[in-house]
A = this chain, B = another copy of it.
């Protein structure tokens, strides 16, 4: 028999358990995991102490990120320009005649970015000291921006493509549940591992309850992923899908929860990806068709877009 090769196996083999989503609840729920891997959970009651600036700034969209950067840069310049302005018309020399504040603003931007043209220059002790301080702030600020940009740009992520449908396919003498994955990127993913849970909803009069069962896989892990990988759950007598019909899966609001884990050779990091198939994304009696051909020189030619191609049996 195949077992899920991970910490806590004994637990997962139990007929019913909670993988960290909930079991009991009091209303109709949407699917547990969206196709992009997010959960349908709304969070309340967090305080400012739970806010981690780095996590936020690494997660926001690029548009938001650059808008925040530009706003911060402008705000700092306005603040420093105001102080130079307060220091009086002789604090700075050069610049745009007749507009002391804008001159201060330009000078501030040239100091904060350390560009320092010198066409506007500090001309009093106070302005010199403030410029020395502003240049320090500028360097530190851009150090943080550098770190954030690098953190955003180099943040490990997988881009594993899933077949649009899971299949109930013939398997030996019986049937199996299958889905297929491919690495949509060119980098190497090593030792990908899959875990698959079946979530069903049980209605007992007014009470509803979600049940979770780990599905045994023919092979929970492979060594490499240069081609496609068909993850196979044999529907044997131990399977919760044994003797089930398509109608029963609809009624039970069945959903497959999938967690893929792999080592990314370019990021040198473990990457995770979640996915889910609902009852209406399962095709009965079909088989995946190969996504690759053999090239004239003996290469395997993989068509990433064909990861979901299947044929009815």
Contacts and interface: CB of A to CB of B under 8 A. Distances in A.
A106 B118 contact: no
Contact of A226 (B41, B147, B159): B41
Given A110-B116, A122-B117, A266 B59 contact: yes
A27 B185 CA distance: 26
A299 B302 CA distance: 39
A249 interface: no
Q: Is the interface of A mostly helix, strand, loop or mixed?
A: mixed
Interface in A1-46: 2-3, 5-11, 17-22, 24-30, 39-46
Contact of A20 (B18, B42, B135, B226): B226
How many A residues are at the interface, by size bracket?
35 or more
Contacts of A221: 7-8, 11
Nearest to A39: B226
A149 B144 contact: yes
Given A59-B186, A59-B266, 6 more contacts: A21-B227, A28-B294, A44-B301, A113-B135, A114-B114, A118-B121
Interface of A: 2-3, 5-11, 17-22, 24-30, 39-47, 50, 52-55, 58-59, 69-70, 73, 77, 93, 96, 99, 102, 105-106, 109-111, 113-119, 121-125, 128-129, 131-132, 135-136, 138-140, 142-151, 153-157, 159, 184-187, 190-193, 195, 197, 219-227, 229, 259, 263, 265-272, 290, 292-295, 297-306
